[in-house]
Structure 1
Amino acid sequence: MNALVEAVLAQRGRLVGEGFDHSGQQTLRSVLARAACLGDRLAGAPYPHVGLLLENTPEYLWWLEAAVLAGATVVGVNPTRRGPDLLRDLTHTDCALLVTETRLLPLVADLGLAVPVLVVDGPGYAETLAPYADAAPPSRLPAPETRLLLTFTSGSTGAPKAVVCSQRRIARAGDKLRAQYGLSPDDTGYACMPLFHGNALMGLWAPLLLAGGTIALRRRFSATRFLDDVRDFGASYFTYVGRAVSYVLATEPRPDDAENPLRLGFGTEAGAVDAARFAERFGCRLVEGYGSSEGGCNLRQDPAAPPGAVGREGSGPDDDLAVVDPETGAECPRSRFDAAGRLANGEEAIGELVNRTARAGFEGYWRNEEAGAARLRDGWYWTGDLFHRDAEGWFRFAGRSADWLRVDSENLAVADIENILARWERAAAVAVYAVPDPVAGDQVMAALQLRPGADGDVAASFARFLARQPDLGTKMPPRFVRLVARMPVTGTHKTAKTGLRADRWDAVGGDTVLWRPYERGAAGELSYRVLTAEDREKLGALFAEHGRSALIVRNQVPRS
């Protein structure tokens, strides 16, 4: 039985959004027409792959569900990609057809694509679909193992990898969330995250489709429209990624914010502080999940989890999760905390999260066997993410594998520092990352987006805040702080740290950089001041003195 095919054919829910309200039957007619069109257009292609370069509109879901029925594979194209990178995404995934819209057509107009392009709001589109207006379901419906998606990883370095997702995997992920959160035909899921990303498809589209609920679309995420949309559409459930929650919290509070139909938000990387603020302001619980695009390791969410924990067992019945030393494969000692809540043995307790069940849910990367082999080593699935696990079995996220900092020979986890800095009432968004130390190892650097009206002596206020944090270890305070007008994010609203790392403490745009010179204030508090051009010259000389100038050669990496 193919649960996804059955749900598409049933079409029990509505599709609503900015200026449209489609019944299930209207959607089914649109899906059947496009499925028949795909059957003809992709019949002679080496691979039945269709690229969707669309914002969150009904057309996206109609073509996606058409692919479900036609046995085709959708490539979710990221509209923040440009030029050669975008061309590489389309050619690497063997797209035989591209579906886009007029506003995004310029992104591919000069790429020299050798595949046909359908423009959903362009001339001739209605005529293209007209012959399929009364199409019936395909005579042969696809099996559950049919490849449905090639979804790109959201890594910030190197070319993104295309993760293979079958219809079975999407259906299983959706059904788990449907059951876990009690989603029903009475629920409306608000899809404000981009549909080209797995979060929106596996976390919202699939569970609401299987539940027979309504799906509400926002073309592009808008923090200022969030609450109005929730009320207008009667949304009870939504998904989020990265900084989206921070942006909503940064909007002007209203006395009636809690008067809304929301009961649950599901996503990643909101952080414990923002989750608490969101629940207090909007009366809606946020459930933090952990899972990779690859599907090899997902932690089951548990309402009983202590602050900062994301679960203590995998979401699959046969999962065997562990935190291990990536060099030896030995399981790390359980984490311990001191009286102030500080991780007391991070050096030995933090390691890489693995699933010791062979393959788990990972179905591979498209045309990248080497990367797939790196994920599956010694019969285990390696996430590439840092965790530690306490004596009670709770897993706590400690950062990506690139988020280690080594300060004065001590290993630190970025996530721990970010969680502390997020408590600062003036901060709307926080990012922490490593920059080189002039002598050895790293220094901690933070980018802060301040809330509106957060003026005054920011440096002194930040230093006072740090001094009040009982769990801030002595190596954790940032050496450098970049004040940004808006936190740079990827197309999936995760913080884009690559450009920030490349900027280091350089003067960029209108940003102000504060720094903590190598001395403390007279009162024993940390002391910050503006980093000047003279300071930058002295830092450069210090790197040269220790033969480390190559580490601060300017890399031309744009912020996203």
Structure 2
Amino acid sequence: MNAPVRTIADVAAGPYASVAEAVVALRDVRDRGIWSDGELTPWSQAVGAVAVRIAALRELLGSSSTSPVASSPASASPPHVGLLLAGTPEYLHLLGAAACSEIVVAGLNPTRRGAALARDAALADCALILTDTDHAGLLDGLPIDIPVISVDSPQWADLLARHSDDSDAVAPDLSGTPAGPDDLVALVFTSGTSGDPKAVRITQSKISVPGRMLADRFGIGPDDCVYSAMPLFHSNAVMVAWPIALFTGCSIALRRRFSASNWLDDVRRHGCTFANYVGAPLSYILATPERPDDAHNPMRVVYGNEAPAEVRHEFARRFGVTVVDGFGSSEGGVSVSRTPDTPDAALGPLPAGVSIVDPETGATCERARFDHAGVLLNADEAVGELVADGPGLFAGYWGDPAADAERMRGGRFHSGDLAYVDDDGWVYFAGRSGGWMRVDGENLAAAPVERVLRRHPDLVEVGVYAVPAGEVRGPGTIGDAVAAAVVLRDGADPVEVAAGMGEFLAEQSDLGPKQWPSLLRVTAELPRTASFKFRSRDLTERGVDPAGDGLWIRAAGSTGFIPA
């Protein structure tokens, strides 16, 4: 069953290599580097830029009375710098500066606004926020006492000029630099799909280990080029795209913001051979018009998570690439590596030291049992939480000891992800632990229902979530009802899709009767986080409020959907 795939645990158990050393090792590389807006910043120049930014930030974060942040209570060691920036070389220079010094950077999510953005900056203990022209307005009027500097301003340019050297080969001095495996480099906020985002501690090891593992796994070397269009404030870019380029010495091509229509042109322009994704980007790219020469491109491997099987297959066919979907989180406590023989619906083989346990009792769950049609027969007994025997790469949250304690209850890492495992040891994702739906006294998970609905030829995106049963089935009904939000393909008629939905569901032999949606919401787009993850709680809060969408309801015992 298990084809030999080198895992996170394998690399973590081997010799350690710091991100700081990887940065400095590129000081003499002049023919590869960072592509952005059609220009190449050679690694030699980028390493010099890292050294300049360390010096500049140390001046800004210094203790002298002339320092603009000297009076900030958050400026105690280690100093934290918030980054509210687009995906440009400047962002990577600042990440490199953090890796090669005592400075810690905190990626701020630009889709967070007002009090929520101020809350994140305060939680991260930012002594300074660096922003750019595109994002500076988001900070206007916020109730925060944190200095802000735009990297597009004359102030920043003058500061860098004071610390610049004529040679582009200047490198950071790593003597005394905290670059051990547990030393902090960055804070990355969780996606916030189930509550306020937490600030995950990103250490040298948490960047180094996955980057080196993936480079080895996919045979990436200096002649390759990584395409990175995912947000640089998210762990997918920080722990996948950036370190692969650092540790192999290959080029990395950035895009300020993800663009489905420009993806293929970018790949061809820069000769990109590896790309990362998280969430829905592959679906967005597939929604662009297909061209006869789509497969004529240099891309070899596309790696990420949360892409449905049918999307992975269609993307591989259309663009002539290998698509590999992994499973993990910003916390890094549990990761599952897909092997070549992994069933389409599964994540991969259950890793050593990882169990699926009952969230309430901690007992190991039963193996999943299915009927002849593939319907899960023992969801209550088989679906549980993915729990690891130790912390893995989890280094805790910043400023949230209660969340640390909850995540590491009993000395084991509790992922908060629901799953089940079959008799062959394959793990299947079932949703988030907060996403259980209690339907007619039975616990149901969203992911298996989503997998079935995605077979519908007119549906390009699907999100399954819970709504109070009383809002759909009438007053007095307790528990939850299954709701499905869908985005239709271009040209599909919502009325016709809703009219035929009952017939489609009846044809799906592996969909149990309690898994049938009672509410169908046809929408222009699913609510998603900045990292393209489905925000189910947004729709749960809407209930049966159309909010501009089309709503259809299926009465209990009926197979037909009628307008709400």
Q: Give your verdict on TM over 0.5.
A: yes
Deviation of 1:519 after TM superposition, in Å, equals 4.6
- The amino acid across from 2:403 in the alignment is A
Is residue 2:484 matched to residue 1:446?
yes
Structure 2: distance between partners of 1:502 and 1:400: 17
Paired residue for 2:344, among 307, 315, 326? 307
Amino acid at match of 2:353: D
For 2:67, the equivalent position in structure 1 comes to none
TM superposition outliers: structure 1 runs of 4+ over 6 Å? none
Q: Is the 8 A contact 2:35 2:254 kept in 1?
A: yes
Find the residue that maps to 1:457 and give its secondary structure.
helix
Question: Separation in 2 of the partners of 1:189 and 1:33?
Answer: 25
Find 1:376's aligned residue among 388, 408, 412.
408
Q: CA deviation at 1:473?
A: 1.2
**Pairwise mapping of residues 275-354 of structure 1 onto structure 2 (< 5 A)?**
275-314=312-351, 320-354=353-387
Match status 1:213 vs 2:250: yes
Report the Cα offset of residue 326 of structure 1. Answer: 1.3
Q: Match of 1:432, as an amino acid?
A: V
Per-residue displacement from partner, 1:232-290 (whole Å, max 9, x unpaired)?
Answer: 12111111111112111211111222222222111111111211221122222221111
Q: Aligned partners of 1:474 and 1:519: how far apart in 2?
A: 9
- The answer as to whether partners of 1:36 and 1:70 remain within 8 angstroms in 2 is no
Q: Return the alpha-carbon distance in structure 1 between the equivalents of residues 21 and 193 of structure 2.
A: 37
State the 1:498 CA deviation: 1.8
**2:93 counterpart residue number:** 62
Q: CA deviation at 1:164?
A: 0.9
Cα shift readout 1:136-183 (whole Å, capped 9, x = no counterpart): 523533322321011111122432111112112211121111111211
Map of 2:432 onto structure 1: 400
Is the contact between residue 428 and residue 450 of structure 1 (CA under 8 Å) also seen in structure 2? Answer: yes
After superposition, the C-alpha distances for 1:61-113 in whole angstroms (9 at most, x for unaligned) are: 01111111122111010000111111111111111121110110011121143
Matched, 1:71 2:106: no
Identity between Structure 1 and Structure 2 (%): 45
**TM-score of the pair, normalised by structure 1:** 0.90
Answer yes or no: is the 8 Å Cα contact 1:93–1:150 preserved in 2: yes
Shift, 1:220, TM fit = 0.6
SS of equivalent residue, structure 1 residue 291: coil
Aligned length: 520
Deviation at 1:504, TM superposition (A): 1.5
* Pair 1:469 & 2:508 matched: yes
**Any unmatched runs of 5+ in structure 1?**
521-525, 532-560
Contact 1:99-1:119 at 8 Å conserved across structures: yes
- When the two chains are superposed, the root-mean-square deviation of aligned CA atoms in Å is 1.6
Question: Does the 8 A contact of 2:50 with 2:172 survive in 1?
Answer: no
* Contact 2:501–2:560 (8 Å) recurs in 1: no
| DSSP-derived class of the 2:483 partner | strand
TM-score between both structures, scaled by the size of structure 2 = 0.89
Aligned to 2:139: 108
For residues 463 and 343 of structure 2, what CA distance do their matches in structure 1 show? 23
Correspondent of 2:394 among 344, 359, 362: 362
Aligned with residue 5 of structure 1, among 13, 20, 28: 20
Deviation at 1:226, TM superposition (A): 1.4
1:203 and 2:234 are equivalent in the alignment: no
2:216 pairs, out of 167, 173, 179, with: 179
1:20 and 2:39 equivalent?
yes
Contact 1:77 1:89 in 2 (8 A): yes
> 1:17, 1:233 within 8 Å by CA — same for their partners in 2?
no
Give distance in 1, aligned partners of 2:556 and 2:410. 45
- Alpha-carbon separation, structure 2, partners of 1:485 and 1:393: 38
The gaps in structure 2 that reach 5 residues or longer are 1-15, 64-74, 471-476
Report how far residue 2 of structure 1 moved: 4.8
Deviation at 1:467, TM superposition (A): 2.4
Equivalent position of 2:117 in the other structure: 86
Q: 1:448-499 CA distances to partner (integer Å, 9 max, x unpaired)? A: 0111111261212333322222211111121111111112211111112221
Q: What SS is found at the alignment partner of 1:228?
A: helix
